[in-house]
Structure 1
Amino acid sequence: MSTALEAQLWASADILRGKMDASEYKNYLLGLVFYKYLSDLELREAYEQENGKTETYPDREAQFEILNDWYEEDPEDLQKTMRLQLGYFITPDQLFYSFRKKADGYNLQLTELQSGFNTLESEGGQFQGLFADIDLKSNKLGSNDQQRNITVIEVLRALDEIDLFSHDGDVIGDAYEYLIGQFAAGAGKKAGEFYTPQAVSRIISEITSIGQEERAPFHIYDPTMGSGSLMLNIRRYLTHPDKVTYHGQELNTTTFNLARMNLILHGVDHGRMNLKNGDTLDSDWPTEEPYQFDSVVMNPPYSANWSAADKFLSDSRFERYGKLAPKSKADFAFLLHGFYHLKDSGTMGIVLPHGVLFRGAAEGTIRKALLEEGAIDAVIGLPANIFYGTSIPTTVIILKKNRSSRDVLFIDASNDFEKQKNQNILTDDHIKKIVQTYQARKDEDKYAHVASFDEIKENDFNLNIPRYVDTFEEEAPIDLVQVNKELEQVNKDIKAQEAELLAMIQEFAVTEDSKDIIASMTQLLGGAHE
């Protein structure tokens, strides 16, 4: 992430963080960043309509003058053009730029900002309810209207310094990751959300795209989509990234809205978004066509609670496996849901805690059934402390249908990371090594092993990675003869230094008292070697 984006997010967060938890103020920040992006995009579109696209653009004041002149001359034409090109229209007086100009003179009223949110939400289904989590009347912003006005104005002015078009990357995702990274104690845990670091997203996206790079249209599904960044990563590995359709479900309404913002920010057309705010496990979705996908990617909440009601034993997602995931550990329920929605030709990648690899009882039964049908293609162990909100080590499990073999590739990448402050980071080289090892599918000393089905069966279907990849490093043998020689030399050096010290003491023997002291010290030093 650029330091400019970090600096302005920090400045904005600093205004709010004494007033509310990070889980709350990130909603204000990300919502305002999104509104600013749509507003600035409209200004740029108006400029391009008159001057064409260019590598450099004038400042927003010049862009605003072009848009405002157009609006005064023919408002209907401007609205029609913007809705055709962008899918929405924001009137000049409700643009973020206009709010900022008023904010500079402290003339902005929160009712004007709320009106801007309401008007944009009325533009269509893709914007409906997007700003529901921004409560401009909250007492946490201030005890009265004036104080709330000042707080929001300061935030707005700080955010307006961000040049969203110069940021190379996932703006909402990067902002979200930064905020959680800075304030994880409040943001990730209290909101019940899990953000997948970009490095992990890249591993899953690249692996699940292998062999499908030319597929168009391409359908990707994330049943626990969070901010949507895990789905969006697939585009960098496909030949036709503009022909991807995104299917996703998210239980948390705030995070669901965040995902919608994220996809819009990435230029995803409304017709290529199939998103739902709902409980993935409680009610299967999607059930209409398409309900199976080329790629399924997941980073579900770890060891979450779910009902595990008897009715699910006849649910087509779970009935083949004989048992249901435990009530207190829904990990396998999420996995089986995703696997059910995978095409026969597709690939699935899911991040889970290591317990799913070796826990017994119902989980052991499910794991055995998956292994017997050859569904588990690879198990990749990741380093600890790479996720925000939890320091536990995790594993990426790759699944496929109709494999010709039932072997499993194990990769132990747990020791490959770069430590940065309080977080461990996977570098480009670490990611490349994991993906190349997956593609090569052969043993690599202390890093990878292809285990046959018989070998796994002998281990009672336990997939704990250390059973298959031995990363133990033996310590070099101790040379006792050399150690003894070194000790003898140390003793000689000590004796020589003591003799030198005694000689120095003798030179200061000038009084009867000092002679007694010297005699005592000499006896003491001499006795040390008796």
Structure 2
Amino acid sequence: MPVNQINQDDINKAVWAACDTFRGVINADTYKDFVLTMLFLKYISDVYKDDYNKLVVQYGGAGNENPELIRAMMSKQRFVLPDGASFWDLYEQRHQPGNGQRVDQALHAIEEANGTKLKNVFQDISFNTDKLGQEKQKNDLLRHLLEDFGKDILNLSTERVGSLDVIGNAYEFLIKHFAAGSGTTAGEYYTPPEVSTLLATLLEPTEGDQICDPCTGSGSLLLKCGAMVRKNSGSKKYALFGQEAIGSTWALAKMNMFLHGEDNHRIEWGDTIRNPLLLDKDGKGLLHFDVVTANPPFSLDKWGHDDASGDPYGRFRRGVPPKTKGDYAFISHMIETLKPETGRMGVVVPHGVLFRASSEGKIRQQLIEENLLDTVIGLPEKLFFGTGIPAAILIFKKHKTDNNVLFIDASREFKSGKNQNQLTPENIQKVIDTYKARDSVDKYAYLASFDEIAENDFNLNIPRYVDTFEEEAEIDLVAVRTERLELQNELQVLEAEMEGHLKELGYGA
């Protein structure tokens, strides 16, 4: 019997409804972590239950139950769900006291049973916290939460979910809605899936690549790159690396890797600029990667300027970025982690990075003089929630075959939405095709030489290179006058008719 696949909208609606349990009790930044952790627990429980039932059908049933064999085969699955630790175990006991303690024990048991895959992931989340109120209130809140996730609509079995990035998509959905309510993003940033797809396609990660996102977020961009390797080569021989500064978001990235079977990964928790943790065996040098890609926080204030000039890894040898704008701090870090021959990099930046002067201008000039910059892609406004400003993608390469820079103006290529614009598959493909052709396209792209960029004082503002000006159609003044006279004549006829009607009704003079 065919299984109806769940869609992301159904998951988002159910997750948003589950948030009602906490509203008015704790703030959104806190209950987001409870909701997403419960989503993770529900997901792995449904997948595990699904796998178990399949084995029962295959090796049991009809009086031939073989629980020992089934248990042995389940122990060889990709992850372990200890007895008593599944969502459904907690759901069955939801009316009993101690919900908070039971959820914490279940998460701890899952973490312990899965070794390094989930090490320390749940250390900063406790469902047995006083933040949820006195014991009775806390127990009731968690009972409601378990019931919300126990509804049929949130059946997250493998067949129902398919290839959806459940955790990543739900995370993005919640961040968007919490930001809309509070006017901020609480310092958290995410990359729209269409932009992740574009970045992963442009960078062409392939078999054997080591891929890094130094601003990992929920891990969706890394997952997209991994999927691109499998699509392009059919191989799972690649490694994912990352670092994330916010503890709860790091935990989501680890959960996301776990759910997608990305066991060959290393995601560190810490501040990439102040304390880079992806280091070589001696701990003295940065690791180097084939692909480096990120959507860093735009123009971050207080990024670590005071210690940058003495950076032990030499990341700021081209110059120290401004104290209140950390864009080039992340760019500089990423450049220094590229492998000398195969290294390629894609980074999302605000447009100010293209033209701001002073220290940023000097860094930009040196990057261009070193022939590292390959492509500048202007994106539409309102793509990134929390900011309406348009962004750009910069592609850097360690080994270029020419000293040109391709400029693509995709700022007018989007599907308009109520609050956010979106890149369509056609918009994405147009960028990709133009990038690969590496040639000028009227009103859309321009291949600039080094000399042209130097003549522009190394200013990369896209309109300096891509002329999108559309000449207005010439106005036929004779035709306009003729149309005006015709309208005047029509108006006189209408006035006469109106005067006649008014006289008939007794309003005439």
Q: TM-score when scaled to structure 1?
A: 0.86
Distance 1:181 1:461 in 2: 36
Identity of aligned residues (%): 38
- Which residue matches 2:134? 144
Where does residue 526 of structure 1 map in the other structure? none
**Matches of residues 429-448 of structure 1 in structure 2 within 5 Å?**
429-448=426-445
| Residue of structure 1 equivalent to 2:109 | 119
> Which of 393, 397, 401 lines up with 1:396 in the alignment?
393
- Determine whether 1:318 maps to 2:315: yes
1 or 2, which has the higher helix percentage?
Answer: 1
Partner residue in 2 for 1:129:
120
Provide the residue aligned with 2:148 in structure 1.
158
Match of 2:225 among 213, 217, 234: 234
One of 402, 407, 412 as aligned partner of 1:405: 402
- The match for 1:243 is 237
Shift of 1:286: 1.9
- How does 1:56-67 map onto structure 2 within 5 Å? none
Q: Which residue of 1 aligns with 2:351?
A: 354
Say if 2:395 is the partner of 1:379: no
2:50 corresponds in structure 1 to 44
SS at match of 1:152: helix
Aligned equivalents of 1:426, 1:319: Cα separation in 2: 34
Deviation at 1:248, TM superposition (A): 0.5
What do residues 433-463 of structure 1 show as CA deviations (whole Å, max 9, x unaligned)? Answer: 1111111111111111111111101100000
Is residue 331 from structure 1 mapped to residue 331 from structure 2 by the alignment? no
Give the 4+ runs in structure 1 shifted more than 6 A.
none
Contact 1:235 1:241 in 2 (8 A): no
Instruction: Tell me by how many angstroms 1:140 deviates.
Output: 4.5
Aligned to 2:261: 267
> Which amino acid is the alignment partner of residue 331 of structure 1?
D
Q: CA deviation at 1:315?
A: 4.0
Match of 1:179 among 170, 174, 178: 174
C-alpha distance 129-498 of structure 1, shift in aligned 2 (>3 A): same
Partner residue of 1:167 out of 161, 164, 172: 161
What one-letter code is carried by the residue in structure 2 that aligns with 1:176? Answer: Y
Whether 1:224 aligns to 2:230 is no
Q: Is the CA contact 1:441–1:450 (under 8 Å) kept in the aligned structure 2?
A: yes
Q: Distance in 1 between matches of 2:112 and 2:228?
A: 35
Q: 1:311 to 1:155 in 2, by over 3 A?
A: closer
Paired residue for 2:31?
25
- Partner SS state of residue 328, structure 1: coil
Matches within 5 A, 1:247-326: 247-269=241-263, 272-288=264-280, 291-304=287-300, 305-309=302-306, 312=309, 315-321=312-318, 323-326=319-322
Q: CA deviation at 1:368?
A: 0.4
Equivalences, count: 487
Match among 438, 444, 448 for residue 451 of structure 1: 448
Q: Which amino acid aligns with 2:104?
A: Q
Question: Partners of 1:11 and 1:471 in 2: how far apart?
Answer: 45
Secondary structure of 1:348's match?
strand
Query: Unpaired segments of 5 or more residues in structure 2?
Result: 1-6
1:191 aligned partner:
186
8 A Cα contact 1:377 1:399, kept in partner = yes
TM-fit CA distance, 1:207: 0.7
Q: Distance in 2 between matches of 1:183 and 1:49?
A: 41
Distance 2:278 2:180 in 1: 34
Corresponding residue for 1:99? 90
Distance 1:97 1:144 in 2: 25
One-letter amino acid matched to 1:456: I
Report deviation, 1:89.
3.5
Deviation at 1:476, TM superposition (A): 1.6
Shift of 1:108: 6.3
* CA distance, structure 2, for counterparts of residue 116 and residue 292 of structure 1: 38
* Cα displacement (A) at 1:282: 1.3
Contact 2:8 2:169 in 1 (8 A): no
Matches within 5 A, 1:64-75: 70=67
Q: 2:414 matched to 1:421?
A: no
CA offsets 1:175-210 (integer angstroms, 9 cap, x no match): 11221232224689353110111001011111111x
Alignment of 1:362-373 (within 5 A): 362-373=359-370
CA contact (8 A) 1:82 1:89 kept: no
Q: Which runs of 5+ in 1 are unaligned?
A: 520-530
- How far apart, in 2, do the equivalents of 1:496 and 1:87 lie? 84
Please give the alpha-carbon distance, in whole angstroms, between the structure 1 residues aligned to 2:435 and 2:496: 66
Contact 2:378–2:462 (Cα < 8 Å) also in 1 = yes
Deviates more, 1:156-165 or 1:306-315: 306-315
In structure 1, the residue corresponding to 2:292 is in which secondary structure?
strand
SS of equivalent residue, structure 1 residue 274: strand
- Which letter maps to 1:5? I
- Specify whether residues 423 and 17 from structure 1 end up closer, same or farther in structure 2 by C-alpha distance, changes over 3 A only: farther
| TM-superposition CA deviations, 1:197-231 (whole Å, max 9, x none) | 1001011111111xx53x3x221001110111011
Counterpart residue number, 1:340: 336
Q: Is the 8 A contact 2:85 2:110 kept in 1?
A: no
Are 1:14 and 2:6 an aligned pair? no
Decide whether the 8 Å contact of 1:357 with 1:464 is kept in 2.
yes
SS at match of 1:387: coil
Given that residues 208 and 346 in structure 1 are in contact (C-alpha distance below 8 angstroms), is that contact kept between their aligned partners in structure 2?
A: no
Deviates more, 1:276-285 or 1:220-229: 276-285
Q: Is the 8 A contact 1:22 1:187 kept in 2?
A: no
Partners of 1:190 and 1:453 lie apart in 2 by 39
* 1:385–1:106 CA distance, 2 compared to 1 (3 A): farther
Displacement of 1:278: 1.1
Select the residue among 106, 110, 116 that pairs with 2:100: 110
**Cα offset, 1:319, TM superposition:** 4.8
State the SS of the aligned residue for 1:425: coil
Supply the AA of the counterpart residue of 1:199.
Answer: E
Q: Classify the secondary structure of the residue corresponding to 1:136.
A: coil
- Contact kept, 8 Å, 1:245 with 1:273, in 2: the verdict is yes
| Other-structure match for 2:468 | 471
The Cα RMSD (Å) is 2.6
Query: Could you say which structure has the larger radius of gyration?
Result: 1
8 Å Cα contact 1:350/1:397 also seen in 2:
yes
Report the 3-state secondary structure (helix = DSSP H, G, I; strand = E; otherwise coil) of the residue aligned with 1:433.
helix
Matched residue type, 2:197: R
Cα gap change, 1:501/1:345 in structure 2, threshold over 3 Å: closer, same or farther?
same
Q: Secondary structure at the match of 1:397?
A: strand
Distance 1:371 1:287 in 2: 27
Q: Does the 8 A contact of 1:383 with 1:417 survive in 2?
A: yes
| TM-score, length of structure 2 as denominator length | 0.89
Checking the alignment, whether the CA contact within 8 Å between 1:218 and 1:294 is kept in structure 2 is: yes
